[in-house]
Amino acid sequence: MSTVLVRGEEFTQLPPDLYIPPDALEVILESFSGPLDLLLYLIRRDNLDILDIPIAEVTRQYMVYVELMKAVKLELAADYLVMAAALAEIKSRMLLPRPAQADEEEADPRAELVRRLLLYERYRTAVEQLDARPRIGRELHLVAVPVDGRRTERPPPQVRMDDLLEALRSVLTRAAAFAHHTILREPLSVRERMTQILDRVRVDGYTEFSALFDPGEGRRGLVVTFLAILELSREALVSFVQNDAFAPIHIKANTHE
């Protein structure tokens, strides 16, 4: 039998012959999930054979419940009323005399109802089985222990050089469409060197001018470094300091912090 909740308390069984006072209607509405459920309850309660339902008696009992439901929750009673109408129809058809040559099975107006009841009952049994399964948070609990030394790894975005170049191409195309100046025409090597020098003088503070040049780079390297320093100076990112004539020239990063 289904379980019934009365103000949160659980009853495993309905009283054997429940007469329902109106204030217990909540109980019915909650304990029966629909007209088929109620019908099954009535049939099972009286230990009737589902295949041989005494329609008249079942209908009478059914109507008692439905009348009570109507009094309280009309919108919920709708489905029950449809069933009541179906029951009434079956009852009336059973009262009619049968045509002599009618096929017996087809002639039984209960057949469709029985089919639905049997199908419904299969699922009702399935519900009980499903509900009885061990569930997470009820019978079973998941294991999740903390990880010592955990830190969130953030894998690098999947960017390939092609993506970068493609982005650059589109930006250049766009820039060409609206800009008149030839941005992005600077030699990369000077720009890179500017970053390197700026970095160095920011870390080292005063840095000797000559120390920024690496003779190993050859003449071109020296020129690039020199151009980079001039450009940094022009953009006022660095300044030069010389204490005396012919004293070593120092470079420092401009900071106003």
Does the protein bind another protein through residue 171 (CB under 8 A)? yes
Cα gap 230→225, rounded to integer Å: 9
Does the protein bind another protein through residue 174 (CB under 8 A)? yes
Does the protein bind another protein through residue 95 (CB under 8 A)? no
In sequence order, which residues have a C-beta less than 8 Å from that of residue 154 and are 6 or more positions away? none
CB under 8 A: which stretch of 12-20, 93-101, 175-183, 206-214 binds another protein?
175-183
Does the protein bind another protein through residue 44 (CB under 8 A)? no
CB under 8 A: which stretch of 12-20, 56-64, 133-141, 204-212 binds another protein?
133-141
SS (H, E, C) 106-139: HHCCCHHHHHHHHHHHHHHHHHHHHHHCCCECCC
**Residue count at the site for another protein (CB under 8 A)?**
113
- Strand partners of residue 83: none
Helical packing angle, 35-45 and 55-72, nearest 10°:
130
Mask for 214-233, x = binds another protein (CB under 8 A):
---------xx--x--xx--
Cα gap 112→130, rounded to integer Å: 27
Give all strands of the β-sheet with 238-241 in edge-to-edge order: 207-208, 250-253, 238-241
Mask for 112-131, x = binds another protein (CB under 8 A):
x-xxx-xxxxxxxxxx-xxx
Among 2, 25, 48, 63, binds another protein (CB under 8 A): 2
Does the protein bind another protein through residue 101 (CB under 8 A)? no
**Residue type for 140, please?**
L
Nearer to another protein, 6 or 171 (CB): 171
Does the protein bind another protein through residue 248 (CB under 8 A)? no
